[in-house]
A and B are shown apart, each in its own frame.
Chain A
Amino acid sequence: MRHIISLLMENEAGALSRVSGLFSARGYNIESLTVAPTEDATMSRMTIVTSGSDEVIEQIYKQLNKLIEVFAVMDLSEGEHLERELMLVKVRAVGAAREEMKRMADIFRGSIIDVTDKTYTIQLTGTGNKLDSFLQAIDRSLILETVRTGASGIGRGDRILKL
């Protein structure tokens, strides 16, 4: 089953490699991993999307907690949470496709952030599913480039991951 795990750790050189090394050494999946400093620059917040049986997820949780530089771990998917991902798609936008592409971007509440006479670059945010749907909805042959951030997640309401 897919799980989205949040963790708070020291913003130290090498901290990311301790996490990614743990996943590769123990054979855990990483679907996506995002990391950036928090409002307190000495700490980083990481969101990892992974999958595995309940036993594997329990081990991932415990092994992450065991890392010396990790403050706290939360399996967001155990409760109400929000997740968002950002995608930039560069598409060919000429002729009839130019209007169609703008219309699709509007439908998906995307915005066009760069325009040339032949291309648009569309910015979209949402769940991973929504971004997938957009890519399926447009003419695949027009896609020149896509780049996605991977999911960032946060608990709803009172579910707070803080030191």
Chain B
Amino acid sequence: MELTGAEITIRCLQEEGAQYVFGYPGGAVLHIYDALFNQDQVKHVLVRHEQAAVHAADGYARSTDKVGVALVTSGPGVTNAVTGIATAYMDSIPMVIISGQVPTYAIGEDAFQEVDTVGITRPCVKHNFLVKDVNEIASTIKKAFYLAKSGRPGPVLVDIPKDISNQKTGFSYPSSVSIRSYHPPQHNDAGQIKSAVQLLLEARRPMIYSGGGVILADASRQLTELVHLLGFPCTNTLMGLGGFPATDSQFVGMLGMHGTYEANMGMQYCDVLLAVGARFDDRVVGNVKHFNQEKRKIIHIDIDPSSISKRVKVDIPIVGDVAKVLDSMLAELRSRKEILDKQAIAPWWAQIQEWRGKNCLFYKKSNEIIKPQSVIEKLYEVTRGDAFITSDVGQHQMWAAQYYKFDKPRRWINSGGLGTMGFGLPAAMGVQLANPDAAVACVTGEGSIQMCIQELSTCKQFHLPLKIIMLNNRYLGMVRQWQQFFHGNRYAESYMDALPDFIKLAEAYGHVGIRVEHPSDVEPALKEAFGLKRQLVFMDFITDPTENVFPMVQGGKGLSEVILAEDL
């Protein structure tokens, strides 16, 4: 029996086990929507803006180990989706985006809702395809899922012209896939692993630094074992939180621009650094010249060779799947006769304890005004540290990362690389659909939430009982903080006037709104909200507008040149 290209597209999604497709219909994808209508295996989630479709698919992927799927129409459907695609690309999230295109005969004629989708998305996808033959839809979608998930993951876009989705052909889904020019690294080098283990055993001031690669490779079990076996301190990047349990005594906190004093000093002054699925980016090591002033040996495990020695020169590169490499390292370590000399690193731990003594996450508590940090601490307590937390971008994101102690991977969902405001709410929708019984909270600000606030409507339609934790300081807080520190208190356009009444807004969308203005109300309000298991609760916390995020390593400075709250 022959199927249309549209029916084949949906059959492919079924074959890939796609549970949800997040999308928005339009002219060029009408055949595909028709095919969706005639089945109920793949559920469609109608968003209110294509950016949200991609963020939702992204949140779905981040909170599971599955590929997220988004479906958008041509032209503005695609351009709206670009922010979401770039967000996923920067954080290496496996995703397949299906986009409609004008019919093949109209391509290049500036047709209605035509845009060069493959051209526009090229710099922010792992790969993309324009399908010009109905017989190639199945094999292309197969390739797209394979590319999205294998090697260093990333978004892959498949552009399908309208006439192609309406032509008919026979359907058989390929059982296997091979792309002759694509061979993701599989192996790991035994020699390199031996040298790495030797170096680790000789370390006197060791540090283990892990990033999003550990989460993506589902390697947190191996990482945790290794850290425990070695007895070394461990820090996580913003993307790597939950890769190693935050409540573990060997955890020294997040590192980087708003990382802890002990993590950053440990990075700067260690003699052997083991980097696992992390990429030494500017928000993590700051000024590379300053970082390189201290001599240390670096072992770097990453699946992407181009991440190695990109910003910081590495001594022992190990290319491969992080989980497999860590397995080999654990085996090598256990086969060694020499017993780890934990005494040898005792002075280093003493130094770290001294740095910890700075208590760098200290903030002044108040009985008068709600401190944003305290909201996150209460959120942690009320949810017993077991919620899925998504965030937007800004101060609230940093506070969530600093004060919510993530013990499990895939619980902390944020836009680390691109820093996309508007990510939190739609991402939380994907997380909630993937984890229907879990508590899912979106930590946001009054600036970020307004960038995708229309999704409150989607949440109503799909009964998503999210908890929105909005830290409302009436400022674009991170912008205001930089203006205070580096622009002479000139708060250019960072004050937000004429904010809506968020409670009424939440109610208008059919949700529950709770405003919290007093510190003593924070905990009871959170308990009430999380008690409403079936309803979305929008919590508007009126917080101290002058609060800043500390510690802070300002852009272009070194990791030891940190500003602490007490310095000001």
Contact = CB atoms under 8 A, between A and B. Distances in A.
Given A17-B119, A21-B123, A71 B304 contact: no
A70 B181 contact: yes
Contact of A62 (B126, B130, B306): B306
A68 B179 contact: yes
A41 interface: no
Given A25-B123, A68-B126, A62 B180 contact: no
B181 A69 contact: yes
A39 interface: no
B464 to A, nearest CB: 35
Interface string A65-91: 110111100000000000000000000
A99 interface: no
Contacts of A69: 181
Looking at chain A's contact residues, is the secondary structure mostly helix, strand, loop, or mixed?
Answer: helix
Nearest to A68: B127
A73 to B, nearest CB: 11
A62 B122 contact: no
Interface string B118-160: 1100110011001000000000000000010000000000000
Nearest to B156: A68
Nearest to B132: A13
A10 B143 CA distance: 15
Contacts of B304: 66
B310 interface: yes
B181 A62 contact: no
B181 A9 contact: yes
Nearest to B308: A62
B127 to A, nearest CB: 4
Nearest to B307: A62
Contacts of B119: 14, 17
A62 B152 CA distance: 14
Contacts of B310: 59
Interface in A43-78: 55, 58-59, 62-63, 65-66, 68-71
Nearest to B310: A59
Interface in A1-21: 9-10, 13-14, 17-18, 21
Given A14-B118, A68-B126, A63 B181 contact: no
A65 B130 CA distance: 22
A10 B305 contact: no
B147 A68 contact: yes
A68 B181 contact: yes
Contact of A58 (B118, B130, B182, B309): B309
Contacts of A58: 309
A9 B179 CA distance: 12
Contacts of B122: 14, 17-18, 21
Nearest to A25: B123
Contacts of A65: 305-306
A71 B306 contact: no
A53 B203 CA distance: 32
Contact of B182 (A14, A18, A59, A68): A68
B306 A63 contact: yes
A71 B126 CA distance: 16
Contacts of A68: 126-127, 147, 179, 181-182
Contacts of A163: 180
Nearest to B118: A14
A99 B477 CA distance: 77
A59 B307 CA distance: 9
Interface string B282-319: 00000000000000000000001110011000000000
Contacts of A18: 122
Residue with the greatest number of chain B CB neighbours at <10 A, chosen from A62, A63, A163: A62
Contact of A71 (B127, B180, B305): B180
Contacts of A13: 130
A142 to B, nearest CB: 42
B55 to A, nearest CB: 23
A6 B80 CA distance: 37
Given A68-B126, A68-B147, A62 B305 contact: yes
A67 to B, nearest CB: 8
Nearest to A24: B123
Contacts of B127: 68
Interface in B178-197: 179-182
A58 B317 CA distance: 14
A66 B152 CA distance: 10
A141 to B, nearest CB: 43
B154 to A, nearest CB: 10
A6 to B, nearest CB: 15
A16 to B, nearest CB: 12
A71 B306 CA distance: 16
Nearest to A72: B181
A71 B127 CA distance: 15
Contacts of A71: 180-181
A66 B181 contact: no
B282 to A, nearest CB: 15
Nearest to B311: A55
B179 A59 contact: no
A66 B147 contact: no
A66 B179 contact: no
A37 to B, nearest CB: 15
Contacts of B182: 68
Interface in A115-163: 163
B220 to A, nearest CB: 26
Nearest to B181: A71
A123 to B, nearest CB: 35
Nearest to B124: A25
A65 B182 CA distance: 9
A59 B305 CA distance: 9
A58 B314 CA distance: 13
Contact of A55 (B123, B180, B181, B309): B309
9 contacts: A9-B181, A13-B130, A14-B119, A14-B122, A25-B123, A62-B306, A66-B305, A68-B127, A71-B181
Given A17-B122, A59-B306, A68-B147, 13 more contacts: A10-B181, A14-B118, A17-B119, A18-B122, A21-B122, A55-B309, A59-B310, A63-B306, A66-B306, A68-B127, A68-B179, A69-B181, A71-B181
Which 7 A-B residue pairs are closest in the complex by CB-CB distance? A62-B306, A68-B127, A71-B181, A68-B182, A62-B305, A25-B123, A69-B181
Interface of A: 9-10, 13-14, 17-18, 21, 25, 55, 58-59, 62-63, 65-66, 68-71, 163
